[in-house]
Amino acid sequence: MTDSVIVQLQAVEKIYQQGKIEVPALRGLDLEVRRGEFMALTGPSGSGKTTALNIIGGLDTPTRGKVVVDGRELATLSRGELSRMRRDKIGFVFQAYNLVPVLTAFENAEMVLRLQGVPTAERRQRVMKLLAEVGLEGMEHRKPAEMSGGQQQRVAIARAIAPGPVVTLADEPTANVDSATAEMLLSLMERLNRERDVTFIFSTHDPRVMARARRVIRMVDGKIESDERKE
């Protein structure tokens, strides 16, 4: 794996057991993701795109095959090492935001840094700068219920990239917001990709995401049907 390849899947298969029936979700998936990519996995429901995202994020394990993130093969990691890998190296942005309702925007965004043991002063400086970057300056003390869906997703993006992960996984990040907010969120993530070199992998049905992505992988029946790179 070269230095610029930060995610590698080799012959990855995932089979779910439903009673006595085996349901294949991924069928020999091969994929390389390079640092700085802004890419989308797309395809119909059941195509395997979310399963692929979950396997890259260590939230699910393949039935067969090899998954390497930042030079570490996930199958060789202990439970604690895998937890630290997810905490330090992989950012997650979910369609349902997954913010803690009783915490403020600042407290949600600083959560991973607190778990990492980053000192208070440094944590505050980094989070305040990041919240300003995502357009939430002055909203640090608001709780999720006091924010719009788009603002909540901005907090979720700030939380995901605060630790400086090697890759950020975004599962349908525009699904629960209106068109104007979706475009704003995509512009934000494009800017973070360009200015902070944040690598994004989206799982999406949204044509707006596909239009912005510089690489679009279409999946069908657990396999890659096409892999298009844009200049």
- pLDDT, tens digit, 9 for 90 and up, residues 59-87: 999 999 999 999 999 999 999 999 999 99
Question: What was the pLDDT predicted at 95?
Answer: 81
What SS3 class is residue 205? coil
- Closest alpha carbon to 129 in 115, 109, 151: 109
- What one-character-per-residue DSSP string does 111-125 give? HHHHHHT--HHHHHH
Residue 223, token pair as written in the block: 């396999």
Question: What was the pLDDT predicted at 117?
Answer: 92
- The residue type found at 131 is L
Question: What was the pLDDT predicted at 182?
Answer: 87
Q: Are 108 and 127 in contact (CB under 8 A)?
A: no
21-66 tens-digit pLDDT:
998 999 999 999 999 999 999 999 889 999 999 999 999 999 999 9
92 DSSP β-pair partners: 169
Question: What was the pLDDT predicted at 122?
Answer: 94
CATH dotted code for 36-63+77-229: 3.40.50.300
- The residue type found at 102 is V
What SS3 class is residue 68? strand
Residue 187 CA to residue 153 CA, distance in Å, equals 13
Residue 105 CA to residue 167 CA, distance in Å, equals 22
Question: What was the pLDDT predicted at 1?
Answer: 43
5 DSSP β-pair partners: 34
Residues in the chain predicted with pLDDT less than 70, given as ranges, are 1-3
Q: Are 202 and 173 in contact (CB under 8 A)?
A: yes
Q: Are 65 and 12 in contact (CB under 8 A)?
A: yes
Residue 77 CA to residue 84 CA, distance in Å, equals 10
Question: What was the pLDDT predicted at 3?
Answer: 55
Give, for 64, the enclosing helix (H) or strand (E): strand 64-69
